[in-house]
Amino acid sequence: MKKIMMIAIAAVVMMAPLAASARVGVFIAPRFGWGWSQPFWGPYPYPYYGYPPAPVTGDVKFDTHDKQAQVYVDGAYAGRVREVKTLHLRPGSYEIEVRGGSGTEFDQKVYVAAGKTLHLNPDAEASE
């Protein structure tokens, strides 16, 4: 009986490190003042404090009253203005064309920068 008890105690002692490693990622670091801080991922939704991930796309937003106008990006049909209110494009230069019922109303080469929004107003261009 004594031998079985010693084997059981040895097994429990040897299993303790395995049970501790199952809680990977829950590190509670001390902070100034009383108590303990949040787990390391803390109140921020990012893997490190205060720095959100860099945006990888830029936005092109259309400010027009003609919601049925067709939008073309580099000659390829992207949809109607009503459907593609905002285009999310990778950084670079694009040929944006807006065609309404009377033909091409707006045709412009634009440069899209990451994290920036470019507002296009085809109505103002058509009136000039």
Instruction: Select from 59, 65, 114, 116 the least CA-distant residue to 88.
Output: 59
CATH code, domain with 80: 2.60.40.1120
Which pTM does this prediction carry?
Answer: 0.55
Q: What is the pLDDT along the chain (128 residues), one digit of tens a residue?
A: 888 888 888 888 777 665 555 544 544 555 554 545 445 555 555 455 556 666 789 999 998 888 888 999 999 999 998 998 889 999 999 999 998 877 667 889 999 999 899 999 887 655 55
30 and 68 share one domain: no
Structural domain span for residue 110: 58-127
Tell me the two tokens of residue 5. 């008890």
Domain total in the chain: 2
CA distance 109 to 112: 10
102 and 63 share one domain: yes
In-domain check, residue 122: yes
Q: Report the 10 Å Cβ neighbour count for 96.
A: 22
119 and 73 share one domain: yes
Residues 6+ apart with CB under 8 A from 6: none
Neighbour-count burial of 1, counting CB atoms closer than 10 A to its CB (0-12 exposed, 13-18 middle, 19+ buried): exposed
In-domain check, residue 47: no
62 and 30 share one domain: no
Q: Report the 10 Å Cβ neighbour count for 84.
A: 16
